[in-house]
Amino acid sequence: MVNDIRKECNTIDWHKRLRNMPCSEIHRLMELGHLPEVDISNDKDCEDCKKPVKYKRPLATRYEKAEACLECIHVHICEPIEVVSYNKYILFITFVDEYSDFGQVYFLKRYDEVPDAFHEFDRKVRMQQDTKVNKFKIEAKHEDVDSLRDPLRPTLAILGISYEYATIYEHSRIRATERYNIRLKQTIELMYKESLLSYRYWNYALRTASYIFNFIPLDRVTSTPFQMWMGYVESLEHLMIWGCEVYACKKVGDEVVKNSKKYFLLGYPKEEKAYILYRQYTNTTFISKSGDFLENEREVRQENDEERAYDLHCFS
């Protein structure tokens, strides 16, 4: 995929596109080959970056960390979200590899779809890695563990993967995916801060945030979670500010023709490098391989304060 109408950008532009990733980590992505070299003369982190992320403190106990990908996958099912998404989702489940920190998100319409998410994750892993997961560590609140055992037992038996349930703060790595989910939700709030989109597109924002997290360089190795999991370097040149307005483009011969109607950027499809755009006037989505993105031409949100406050409350 190419963005046919390219514009000069600097570190601050990538800081916004990568949802407040620190400038120091953006420089590391340039060194690793994920991003092109850009102007760094105006490097500075914004005010939102300076706000601390608060987590409950886990118990300090000894725990042997995984030494390779797929040794241990942490799983967490979020609590229902009051804002029903555009695709009718109310839940999401995250799978985070303990060694690489590579995370994947699956969306659910009902609790009884949880076993299907495990099957889909296992199928995807076997296809990408040509092997299977060694162990699942399913993280849940103490009162939720019993309700998960019966529906998941036959699924995990069919997959032939060992598993264990971990209740809250059993040791330092437990609740790793819960902390991951907290970061996702906080990132989504930042993404919506300047967006004109309704909160019913939270699943698109969350998937985009999860995709970006997989490119945050790790401290212990000179690599990213994506590179450790997939085995190759992925270019991020196609990323744009989530929720920005865009004119879809298409090639006619050697010329690039720009559509006269504005759309909104919702995310990126799994199958190809392209953009998922939203048609507000028909309430539909479609895929485009290029566009003219109006990243710095934001209008004021049209929602009133009460609707905005309700959305924030429901998603927090």
CA neighbor of 176 nearest in space, from 313, 72, 39, 70: 72
Average pLDDT, the chain: 78
Q: Is residue 151 a part of any domain in this protein?
A: yes
Q: Which residues contact 304 (CB under 8 A, 6 or more apart)?
A: none
Q: How confident is the model at residue 6 (pLDDT cuts 50, 70, 90)?
A: very low
Per-residue pLDDT averaged across 225-246, rounded? 89
- What CATH number is given to the structural domain containing 95? 3.30.420.10
Q: Which pTM value belongs to this model?
A: 0.80
Per-residue pLDDT averaged across 70-80, rounded? 88
Q: Is the pLDDT score of 162 beyond 90?
A: yes
> Percent of the chain, pLDDT > 70?
73
Q: Is residue 36 a part of any domain in this protein?
A: no
Q: Report the run of H or E that residue 314 belongs to, with start and end.
A: helix 305-315
Q: Is residue 85 a part of any domain in this protein?
A: yes
Q: Beta 135-139 vs 162-166: how paired, if at all? A: parallel
Q: Is residue 54 a part of any domain in this protein?
A: no
Q: What is the pLDDT of residue 198?
A: 86
Rounded Cα distance between 51 and 47, Å, is: 7
Residues spanned by the domain of 81: 73-180
Tokens in use for 71? 């040794």
DSSP assignments along 104-126, one per residue: EEEEESSGGGHHHHHHHHHHHHH
- In this structure, what DSSP letter does residue 166 have? E
**How many domains is the chain built from?**
1
Per-residue pLDDT averaged across 119-126, rounded? 94
Which of the pair, 74 or 4, is modelled with greater confidence? Answer: 74
Q: Is residue 291 a part of any domain in this protein?
A: no
Q: What is the pLDDT of residue 220?
A: 66
Per-residue pLDDT averaged across 28-40, rounded? 77
Q: What is the pLDDT of residue 307?
A: 42
Per-residue pLDDT averaged across 34-55, rounded? 63
Q: Is the pLDDT score of 289 beyond 80?
A: yes
Q: Is the pLDDT score of 4 beyond 50?
A: no
Q: Which residues contact 75 (CB under 8 A, 6 or more apart)?
A: 93, 94, 95, 96, 118, 136, 137, 138, 139, 177
Q: Is residue 197 a part of any domain in this protein?
A: no
Q: State pLDDT tens for residues 179-223.
A: 788 888 888 888 887 788 888 999 999 999 999 889 888 776 678
Q: What is the pLDDT of residue 276?
A: 92
Q: Is residue 247 a part of any domain in this protein?
A: no
Which of the pair, 26 or 100, is modelled with greater confidence? Answer: 100
Q: State pLDDT tens for residues 51-73.
A: 555 544 544 455 677 889 999 99
Q: Is residue 198 a part of any domain in this protein?
A: no
* Amino acid found at 244: C
Contacts 24+ apart (CB under 8 A), 33-38: 33/233, 33/235, 34/215, 34/224, 34/233, 34/234, 34/235, 34/236, 35/235, 35/236, 35/237, 36/237, 38/9, 38/10, 38/11, 38/13, 38/14
